């Protein structure tokens, strides 16, 4: 199975998002083995879900709270995300870890909450440039993955997003991606047993239509989590086609 996920972050207004859906849908033909998901800002979730329903494209939220409901102003629960038509939720994006103080402890609760609401967690992991230069990449990834210890009772996807490659135009090279994905696969097998062999591992960080084919050819890469380039419907459609033809 291959997976292509658009992370729009805090971008696009309703008319732009709506145009994206029409243009993308016109240029997209679903294929069974390639999963396509759009993660818009939560305020657009229902709209996007309604526009894309029945077209083989699912929606993911970009974050969710672990508590089922209550006095958490500004937060959205997993039940509400599910209610808005989503099939998954991005968790632990580096922007949430760095700018909103999300810890592994909180993420363990979020993964469990997502799974208990039948949402697919897409757990993001990855090192900073300083950590890479200090040769701490594997230990950082290992710690971030340890949130899956004992909580994973259902399907999960993982995205390896080296922070230095996000929004910088600088992708990790094939060897760096292969080493990281190979390490993640081994860790997933340790943490999840046999189920760890089939968890899709996506790459993220300056993926675009022109480099996606070569990234996808790296062993253990199941797809991509795309930021900036995912807001152009034709570029995103081209990336999906690349995954379908790989």
List residues binding ligand 13P (CB under 6 A): 7, 93, 161, 166-167, 204-207, 225-229
- Catalytically annotated residues: 93, 161
Query: What is the C-alpha to C-alpha distance for residues 214 and 22, in angstroms, rounded to an integer?
Result: 28
In the bound state with ligand 13P, the residue whose beta carbon lies nearer, of 22 and 168, is 168
Sequence-distant (6+) residues with CB within 8 A of 145 are 123, 125, 158, 184, 187, 188, 191
In the bound state with ligand 13P, the residue whose beta carbon lies nearer, of 155 and 228, is 228
Q: Which H or E run contains 77? A: none
Sequence-distant (6+) residues with CB within 8 A of 68 are 77, 78, 79, 113
CB of 204 to ligand 13P, least distance (A): 4
Query: What is the C-alpha to C-alpha distance for residues 220 and 216, in angstroms, rounded to an integer?
Result: 9
Contact indicator for 232, 152 with CB cutoff of 8 Å: no
In the bound state with ligand 13P, the residue whose beta carbon lies nearer, of 53 and 99, is 99
CB of 93 to ligand 13P, least distance (A): 6
- Distance set, CA 191 to CA 121, 125, 188, 201 (Å): 16, 15, 5, 15
CB of 150 to ligand 13P, least distance (A): 26
CB of 158 to ligand 13P, least distance (A): 13
In the bound state with ligand 13P, the residue whose beta carbon lies nearer, of 67 and 174, is 174
Query: What is the C-alpha to C-alpha distance for residues 191 and 187, in angstroms, rounded to an integer?
Result: 6
β-pairing verdict for 2-7 and 157-160: unpaired
């Amino acid at each position: 199975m291959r997976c292509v996920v658009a992370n729009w972050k805090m971008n696009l207004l309703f008319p732009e998002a709506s145009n994206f859906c029409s243009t993308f849908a016109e240029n997209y033909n679903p294929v069974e083995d390639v999963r396509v998901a759009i993660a818009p800002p939560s305020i657009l979730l229902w709209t996007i879900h309604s526009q894309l329903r029945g077209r083989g494209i699912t929606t993911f939220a970009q974050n969710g709270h672990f508590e089922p409901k209550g006095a958490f102003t500004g937060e959205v629960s997993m039940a509400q995300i599910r209610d808005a038509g989503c099939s998954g939720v991005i968790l632990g994006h580096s922007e949430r870890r760095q700018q909103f103080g999300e810890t592994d402890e909180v993420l363990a609760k979020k993964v469990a909450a997502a799974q208990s609401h039948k949402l697919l967690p897409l757990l993001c992991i990855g090192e900073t440039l300083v950590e890479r230069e200090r040769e701490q990449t594997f230990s950082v990834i290992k710690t971030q993955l340890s949130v899956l210890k004992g909580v994973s009772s259902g399907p999960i996807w993982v995205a390896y997003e080296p922070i230095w490659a996000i929004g910088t135009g600088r992708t990790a090279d094939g060897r760096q991606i292969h080493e990281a994905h190979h390490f993640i696969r081994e860790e997933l097998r340790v943490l999840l047993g046999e189920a760890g062999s089939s968890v899709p591992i996506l790459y993220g960080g300056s993926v675009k239509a022109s480099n996606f084919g070569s990234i996808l050819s790296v062993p253990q890469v199941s797809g991509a989590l795309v930021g900036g380039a995912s807001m152009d419907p034709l570029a995103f459609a081209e990336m999906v086609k690349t995954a379908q033809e790989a």
